[in-house]
Every structure is written in C-alpha cells, then in structure tokens.
Homo-oligomer: A and B are copies of this chain.
Amino acid sequence: MRSYNIFTGDATKIAEGEADFLLAASVTKTCEIEGITQAGIPGKIHLTPTLDAEFIVNEKIFSLGELAETPSGVPTPALITRATHNLKPFLSIEILNLGLAKEPQYSPTYSFDITPSDSIATGANINAKEIFHKGLRFGRQYELKGDYLILAESTPSGTTTAAASALALGYELNGCFSSTFKDVPNSIRNHTIAQALSHIEPNMSDFAKLSQVSDNMLLFCAGFLIEASHRFPIVLAGGTQMAACMLIADRLQKSIDKKSNSENITVATTAWVAKDQNSNIKKILENLSYTPQAIATDFSFANAKIPILKLYDEGEAKEGVGAGACLAYAFANGYNNEDLLEAIETIMYGM
C-alpha cells in the first residue's frame, strides 16, 4: 500500500491529522437508464446514495429492509470508507442531501431543498446557478472540526453526467471519464451523452448548459470548493467525477469574481482509477488553470478471503463514497493493506 502523486508517480502522503468527512449524496435520474451503472441493486439504484450514507455512518442500513444488508454483485466502496473509519475514526461523518430519493435514516444529514435531477438524456432540468450558489453559501458556513475536510460523493451514473458536463463546457475530454464497469458499456453511455449534448447550443451560458447536462453534486461541490478552499484544506475524494467538479469550479468562478484557493485543494482517488486504461484522470486535471495536488493510493484485494472483493482488482467499481481518499487517510495514519483488508472483511462477516 502506497500513496503517490498522479502526475509524477513520486511517493506522497495525504495530510496527517484528523479529518472531517462529508458525503455529497445525490440522485440524477440518469441512473435509471438500463445498463448505465452497476452502482447498486437494479431497480433500486436511486437508493444507493441513501444506503451508502446510512452504511458509512452506522455500519448498517435502514432504508432497504434486510435485502441490501447482503451485498449483491460488487460490494459498494462504502465498505472501504467505513473500514477506514473503524481503524482511524473521522471526527465526523456527515451527509449532504443534494437531491435524494429518500432521506438517510439515523445519519446526520444537511438539507438544502434540493430534489433529484432529471435524466440528462431528456434534460437534467436543474437550476445550475441556484445549486452552485447554495454550495458557495455552505462553503462559507461549514464549521470544520478537524484539521482538514474530506469531501466525497455518491452519485450513481455520475461519471456519465461528469463527462457530459465537461464536454458541454467545451473541454476536449472524450473518453477520459471512468465507469463502475470493468467493461464499459460505451454504447449506452455515449448515446446518453450525445442525447444530453443535443440540448446544448453554443451560445448558451455555462449555467444554462450545465442546467441541462450536469448533476447537483457537481454544481454544489464546485461552489463549495471555491469558498471553503479559502477557509481550510479540502481533499476532493473521488476520481473523474471530482476532477470534473474541479473543472466546473474553474469555469464558474469567473461568474462570482472569486477564485478557489488552489493551495488548499487536493484530489485523491484509488489506483484503480489512476491506472484505468478506459479513462484518463490526469488529462482531465491538466485542463485546470492550476496544477492540483493529486494523489492515488495502491491497495489490493489479492489476499481477500471473500472472493467477490477481488473483482475490484479486476477493475469493477473502482471508486466512490470517498474510497480513494480513505485509503490515503488510512495509509497516512499508519495502517497497511492487511489492516484495511481485515477491517473490511470483519464488517462483511458481521452483515
């Protein structure tokens, strides 16, 4: 297990000390397009962010009876997040409701009067400016408890909306966005993105474009990042979605005449994303106006006793719910691959 700089490959570490953990949880109805994501139980994917939230806070779920207590298919990366918390507790784990189908139960959740966005295939129908401004406000408001903040996401089909957002803003980043699938369902995905982009006219404002093709997580977190980065260090915990969030912040900051403070911004992901042949996070980040601190962390399920976990090493799931940053957090705090694997399997045996 090892953390390294995504650009140089040099060994590095996430900041030491204690972190607050926030999960930006959001539903875009894009996730209902058949076969677009495997982030959840088919037919119930709109509940995934709610269940992820309940799981990382409680190590159990409440909003889907017994069913989801048994993982179906590839288990959620929320396992990595919760296992990290069990080894080295975050000062807090809190949820941002950025449009959920169901409020997480028994979990501290911030509400902002945001509802799930529509499928980008037919137009997301978001008030992008309003959501961005809610993020800005929360970035001024949030009271940090620890030394820095880890901001993670759970947004099924969010890599599709991330790709559509970047392309709509004119970035040449075709094929750079990751997926939960090992074998990416490019036809469904590309068709959806093409449908989304068909709603865009070149003379539309950035906000108008994003209102059609983006998601609430990207827009809110972009606003949050700009303001909060002037107040404390932030680790954006995610792969190409969080990279897209940074691009959006970079573009929208001119609308408020206030730049984010790049000194305080790190992006952290898994090596499964960083080394993915079907996406290119490095290229996305190179389109920023600054060079961010960018960290990936190696971790392997090779010695797992529970076979299904090994699918991660084959390229399934890859990232989400802050897993990559959690690996870096565990590593920086002295835990190794074996410690984490044991903590993860202990949770799974208890389910």
List residues of chain B with CB within 8 A of the CB of A106. Answer: 110-112, 137-138, 141
A69 to B166, CA, bound (A): 40
Report B-chain residues with C-beta under 8 Å of the C-beta of A58.
141
Residue count of chain A within 8 Å CB distance of chain B = 21
Please, which residues of chain B bring their CB within 8 A of the CB of A137?
106
Q: Cβ of A91: which chain B residues have Cβ within 8 Å of it?
A: 91, 145
A300 within 8 A of B: no
Within the complex, what minimum Cβ distance (angstroms) separates A12 from chain B? 29
Q: Mark A98-111, 1 if CB is under 8 A from B, else 0.
A: 00000111111111
Is A113 part of the contact surface with B, judged by Cβ < 8 Å? yes
Most chain B beta carbons < 10 A, residue from A89, A111, A137: A111
Task: Report which of B92, B94, B104 forms a contact with A111, defined as CB distance below 8 A.
Answer: B104
- The interface bits of chain A over 278-312 (1 if a CB of B lies within 8 angstroms of the residue's CB, else 0) are 00000000000000000000000000000000000
Q: How many copies make up the complex?
A: 2
Within 8 Å CB of A145, what residues of B?
Answer: 91-92, 145
Contact of A109 (CB < 8 Å), options: B89, B109, B138, B141: B109
**Residue of A94, A109, A113 contacting most chain B CB atoms (<10 Å):** A109
Q: Are B112 and A109 in contact (CB under 8 A)?
A: no
Question: Which residues from chain B contact A92 at a C-beta distance below 8 Å?
Answer: 92, 145
Task: Compute how far the CA of A113 lies from the CA of B138 in the bound complex, rounded to whole angstroms.
Answer: 25
Whether A105 touches B109, Cβ cut-off 8 Å, given contacts A58-B141, A92-B145, is no
B105–A113 touching, CB < 8 Å? yes
Interface residues of A in 74-120 (CB under 8 A from B): 89, 91-92, 94, 103-113
Known A-B contacts A91-B145, A145-B92; the reply to A108 vs B108 at CB < 8 A is yes
**Residues of A participating in the B interface, judged by any CB pair closer than 8 Å:** 58, 89, 91-92, 94, 103-113, 137-138, 141, 143, 145
Apart from A105-B113, A106-B110, list 9 A-B contacts with CB within 8 A.
A89-B143, A91-B91, A92-B92, A103-B111, A104-B111, A105-B111, A106-B111, A106-B112, A145-B145
